[in-house]
Amino acid sequence: MVWSRSSHTIYVYVMKGTYTHDLLEDLLGHGIFAVDGEKWREQRKVSSHEFSTKVSRNFSSVIFRKNAIKLGNILLEAANNNHKIDIYVQTKVNIRLLDNKKDLFMKATLDSIFKVSFGIDLDNIWGSSKQAVRFSRAFDDANTLTSRRFFDMSWKIKKYFNIGSEAELKKNMKVVDEFVYNLIQIKSEQIHKTTDFSVSLYFCSQIKILRLSSSL
């Protein structure tokens, strides 16, 4: 654990080390959540400034309110029609949630984060985009499988032979990569064509750091 002082702010972060970095690299690459030292400080400095701006705070507040209203309307409709729905479901790999009304908290959160960070409407709550739903499922499964590495001492062997959970992770990461590379291309083109910087260059550079570096 390291204490650091910048201007009038004191913050603390936990050193991850090479062991944790190796565990997370396939999913998080060299993004802020998987690195230490100068790489971490540089990304934190930029992201801290980005999230502290008034424009960013106002924009994110609007997005979270809109998705909260969507979520509330779904719950209200279910209550009025006496329908049972799952607002939270712990995702398990190889179990597909076919009902769009399941796991609503996760879907609403992911919708908000992607809109605030990248300006993309996933609309997982309603499931209107098959591509976005496919990405969300793959990302959630990849997150679960990556977390299992902390308890599976044989994960590197499985990865080397491309078997078991590591084969499943690789398959899910292919879906994630396809979606994110397409996102990078779309956002790069939009940024060069518009003067609306509510979606900043920083976030687009972050997903490049995440995905490009993890594929090297």
pLDDT digit string (tens) for 29-60? 776 667 777 777 777 776 666 666 666 677 78
| Domain boundaries of the chain, sorted by first residue | 2-214
Q: Which residue has the higher pLDDT, 160 or 62?
A: 160
Q: Residue 37 contacts by C-beta under 8 Å, 6 or more apart in sequence?
A: none
Contact 209, 44 (CB under 8 A): no
CA dist 30 and 206 (Å) reads 9
Q: Which residue has the higher pLDDT, 4 or 43?
A: 43
Residue 76 burial (CB count, 10 A):
10
Q: Residue 60 contacts by C-beta under 8 Å, 6 or more apart in sequence?
A: 112, 116
pLDDT band at 89 (very low <50, low <70, confident <90, very high): very low
Taking 50 as the threshold, does the pLDDT of residue 97 lie above it? no
Contact 71, 106 (CB under 8 A): no
How confident is the model at residue 154, as a pLDDT? Answer: 96
